[in-house]
Structure 1
Amino acid sequence: MIPDLLLEEILLGEKKAQDYYEKYGKEEIENALQELRKSNQEILNIYPAEKMQKEFIKKSLVVKGTKSFKSVKYISYAAAALIAAALFVPVAMNNLKSTSSKNITRAKGSVSKHQELRLYKKSGNDAVILKNGTDARENDVIQITYLAGEYNYGVIFSVDGSGNVTRHFPEDSWKAEKLQKTGAEVPLEFSYKLDAAPKYECFIFVASKNSFDMSKIENINKSSYSIDFLKKGTYLPDGCDGSIFVLNKK
């Protein structure tokens, strides 16, 4: 059986169908892709793209259980597939108030037209976009989205007021992952539940046109972290651009 995730990755251009012909069969893969395209189109015909994008942000903020981990996966694969379907139509989220460039603090060397990081907070049954520098509290459920701009690879991580570093994208490596360049916001496949760390939660989106590695960030002493340090961007690898989003903990 051909994995659904593989088919989604092929449709998104992340993998090549011909690389899997030998394993699954050319006819089987092409037929499965045709069915998936048909299914995606049927969904988009039923739901306007603008509504879909607002809905998948809300879906990703649905808590499906309580865990003690800081980073909690709340989104099911079915919802992730729905997100992938919506991303085939590159439109703006007109039903959500977008952050302006004034809400984005950029690390040294950044250009405003480059990548952008956006945060949403679960509020009842809705997803509310946050402004950079807004207040946040323990147990707030945060959804991260990004726009790749002109860049091809990226890493998204956060540092809290206790100096703890958490990877968000990718989850299991400091090696930059290929960014989706759809023209629309791309939500990460999990939400983030804030813990009791004091002072702040600082989210950093590092991006580049070429692949890079952010593993040296783990060598920084916790006592060195501060919002000012993170804004300076001295930790950025050569050729990388960084954008910063700060939540003030209350």
Structure 2
Amino acid sequence: MTVTFLGTGTSQGVPVIACNCAVCKSVDKHDKRLRSSILIEADDKTVVIDTGPDFRYQMLRADVQHLDAVVYTHEHKDHIAGMDDIRAFNFKQQQPMNIYADSRVQAALMREFPYVFAEFKYPGIPQVNIHPIDLEPFDIGSIHFIPIEVLHYKLPVLGYRINDFTYVTDAKTISDTEKQKILGSKILVINALQKENHISHFTLDEAIAFAREIGAETTYFTHISHRLGKHADVAAELPPGIKLAYDGLQLTI
């Protein structure tokens, strides 16, 4: 299985509009971060986790020719706003897109894209098959997903464990019960927004502490703000076994 980081930025992306800070003005490609999403490619299925506002460009940049399903973490715009662009795959594959989402995400998609779910379907709109999910494991072909519930301030968000790989964004609090699902992962991906305290995201220090608690062989930080600092500077400060993810990074699991 191959995992590609389509985006590793926070809700505004990096650079931020009209920001003149050193990170936003950096010429290092590692400091250019689209909204957070990953592409999972197994032998039999290709899946994206989240379709943020950059979804169209992410698909073009990664040259994704086929997509079997979209799995959602939560309903915030930086994770769902690009859903309309699945229609390109509808046209090429001549079938609806499989959407895996909990009840809150389903409600948000119906609110944000009402034409997709209307009784009268205008020609050319996205075609979807909704698969309701909760905290029970589910399979997409050979890919086995174990949902992990974390809290984004007070909003429940789903992370996912797939074999020895765990992907979590937008976490501030993770219960001991849900941590048990993560323990034993060889690769952990977790959000590290910035160095200063934040109400709904792990800070850099909190993410490092969580990584040490889980003890994965390698941990990658994602959902990164321009406030964290330049990629090269922060990467040089991290403990062994902990790295910053970046757009385009590929892992073979």
Structure showing greater radius of gyration is 1
Q: TM-score, normalised by structure 2?
A: 0.26
TM-score by length of 1: 0.27
